[in-house]
Structure 1
Amino acid sequence: MNKRKVLVIDDEKGIRDLLCDFLDRRGYQVSSAADAREMIIQMNKELPEIVFLDIRLPDIDGLELLKFIKQLDQEIIVIMMSAYATEEIARNSLQWGAFDYIRKPFEFEQVERVLSAVEMTRF
């Protein structure tokens, strides 16, 4: 089986590490970034198929980064994450091309459900 490439972008190291470990144990090829600069470095190496993207990053708004990713490649699946969720942010995320939106703190079962939906609808 070809390992799907996943990029986790979150400035909180603990969340980033937990999510990366969870995805790695499920057979994904995982890389991570703490901010937009690190994301660009990772994406220059290799484009991911799936991105988990935090809304609040230190150097750029996550919604702006979502737009950038979708302009780069419409096929990249972006799953937005935030502890500061509002209906408007969730709606805007989906309007601008996010596949789904996860509120933090999240349960790993929720991540599993989103990944199952990704696999069923996109791959």
Structure 2
Amino acid sequence: MSAPRKVLVVDDENVVAEMICEFLERQGLRATHCNDAAQAVIQLEALKPALLIMDIMMPIWGSGLDAYKRLRASKGFQKTPVIFLTGMQIEQAKRLVPLGDPFTRLLHKPVRMATLMQTIRDLTGDRLLPPAVPGKGAPNG
């Protein structure tokens, strides 16, 4: 597999970040998490993840959107897939998230793991995940 299988999860809710990371690890990915946008920017440079899963609203330095803008302005990260997660009203989130970016998706919390996996597959094809095996999908929770 040529692409790195690293995923950075950014969420100020530790329980959410840890749950997603544990699930991704069970899928064979290397998942790391941090709790704010400032750390996300630092981790992006250090880890060079193949995928970023990020909350929109976080309390320190700025939002997930601020980290996203820094990501897209950084050389080598213009096409890094980003999945935004949010608990805010979905219509409000759609106005904030740059959905015209083909490497960006938006999911509403709480996210079902099967939905997250399908979104990852939609964004990355089989670069990160092995091909889906019929009858062996992600759990619904």
Q: Who is 1:23 aligned against?
A: 24
Post-superposition shift, 1:71? 1.3
| Deviation readout 1:63-121 (Å, 9 max, x if unpaired) | 22221111122121110000113324224411356521110011111111101212328
Contact 2:90 2:108 in 1 (8 A): no
Q: Secondary structure at the match of 1:52?
A: strand
Q: Pick from 89, 100, 110: which aligns with 1:85?
A: 89
Post-superposition shift, 1:55? 0.6
CA gap of 1:20–1:56, structure 2 versus 1, over 3 A, is same
CA gap of 1:75–1:11, structure 2 versus 1, over 3 A, is same
Q: Secondary structure at the match of 1:51?
A: strand
Q: Who is 2:112 aligned against?
A: 107
TM-score for both structures, normalised by structure 2: 0.77
Post-superposition shift, 1:15? 0.2
Q: Distance in 1 between matches of 2:88 and 2:15?
A: 17
Q: Who is 2:139 aligned against?
A: none
Q: Distance in 1 between matches of 2:70 and 2:42?
A: 14
One-letter amino acid of the structure 1 residue matched with residue 57 of structure 2: R
Q: Secondary structure at the match of 2:54?
A: strand
Unmatched 5+ residue regions in structure 1?
A: none
One-letter amino acid of the structure 2 residue matched with residue 16 of structure 1: A
Computing the radius of gyration from Cα coordinates, the structure with the larger value is 2
TM-score for both structures, normalised by structure 1: 0.87
Over aligned residues, Cα RMSD in angstroms? 2.1
CA gap of 1:121–1:28, structure 2 versus 1, over 3 A, is closer
The share of aligned pairs that are identical, in percent, is 28
- Runs of 4+ aligned structure 1 residues displaced above 2 Å come to 95-98, 119-123
Greater share of residues in helix = 1
Unmatched 5+ residue regions in structure 2?
A: 129-141
Post-superposition shift, 1:5? 1.2
